[in-house]
Amino acid sequence: MKAAVLHRSGELPRFEEFPEPTPEQGEVLVHVKAAPLSNLSKMRANGAHQFPAVCGANGVGLLEDGTRVYCGGCRPPYGMMAERAIVSRAFCIPVPDEVDDLTAAALPNAAMASWLALVFRAQFQPGESVFILGATGVSGKLAIQVARQLGAGRVVAVGRNEAILSTLTDLGADAVISLNQSDQALAETFASEAGRHPFNIILDFLWGHPAEVLMRALTRPEFLGEASRIRFVSIGEIAGSTVSVQALVLHSSGLEISGSGGGSIAREAIFETFPQMFTLAAQGKLRMDIDPVPLASVENAWQRRDTPGRRLVFLP
């Protein structure tokens, strides 16, 4: 079969022949229809220890009986960026007919990032305000929609891509803030927004320096009002893997910092979320921009930088 094959960590995958997978106990064979190029897939490729290996952490395909499923959990060295894959039977989730292959493949990983962070880490309640740091990326754009669908009272979107920022009110953002300003101006903008509408929850896809600026701004008087408890949930680290947090921030702002990822949330909770997410997608209430790419173009597409806010999905 044809697949995106990685021969060494740090190299680009190649489109080439790979041995056919044979399911073992608890596994099923999947005829792959679509597989997204997500940060998770890249991360797992970089951390692979068995070579050669097929890339792709998750995707959509057909079981032998024709059932269409979203799936993952491939046994190494197999992956979803191939014509066929073997996956754990337990990680096969039926996809509604109303959701197309591209959306079904691209949506879960990106939408779950904010959904799980809000519901299970921040203990979100309808009517609360949600501040999204890094809202112009794929997951950030979906975070706006997820927050709105869960009943957020106010959504503030923060990002660097000016062209995408201008579109975020159409997705449900009440206000947008550009990161393209000095630290002092940015802190004042954060404080001004908080003074008018106190923050309840901050979803952070960036970490690094933008998170530091925001945390320092939390010590300003504007943040010490109605919403003294601010739940800061770290989801990504696009802007850096570390931050420096002054003790004063924790002592005076009511800030509570936590992280959200697969290891921090029970698997049962994750699986319970899929039907709700797919239902919203079927109703057109969760939308994303997707670029379909032939799997044969994997080597060039893997390193593309010209698709901000869009998810690449490979078609075998």
- Given a contact cutoff of 8 angstroms between Cβ atoms, the answer to whether 72 and 262 are in contact is no
Residue 247's closest CA among 257, 258, 237? Answer: 257
Domain spans, the chain = 2-95+288-315, 110-263
Q: Which residue has the tokens 């947090």?
A: 245
In this predicted structure, what is the pLDDT of residue 39? 83
In this predicted structure, what is the pLDDT of residue 140? 97
One fold for 2-95+288-315 and 110-263: yes
Under CATH, which architecture does the 2-95+288-315 domain have? Alpha-Beta Complex (3.90)
Under CATH, which architecture does the 110-263 domain have? Alpha-Beta Complex (3.90)
- Provide the total of helices (H) and of strands (E) in the chain, helices listed first: 10, 16
Predicted model pTM: 0.94
Question: What string of pLDDT tens digits covers the 316 residues of the chain?
Answer: 999 999 998 899 999 999 999 999 999 999 999 999 988 888 888 777 789 999 999 999 999 999 999 998 899 999 999 999 999 999 999 999 999 999 999 999 999 999 999 999 999 999 999 999 999 999 999 999 999 999 999 999 999 999 999 999 999 999 999 999 999 999 999 989 988 888 899 999 999 999 999 998 988 776 655 457 899 999 999 999 999 988 888 887 789 999 998 777 788 888 889 999 999 999 999 999 999 999 999 999 998 866 789 999 999 9
How far apart (Å, rounded) are the C-alpha atoms in residues 53 and 184?
47
* H or E element, residue 14: strand 14-17
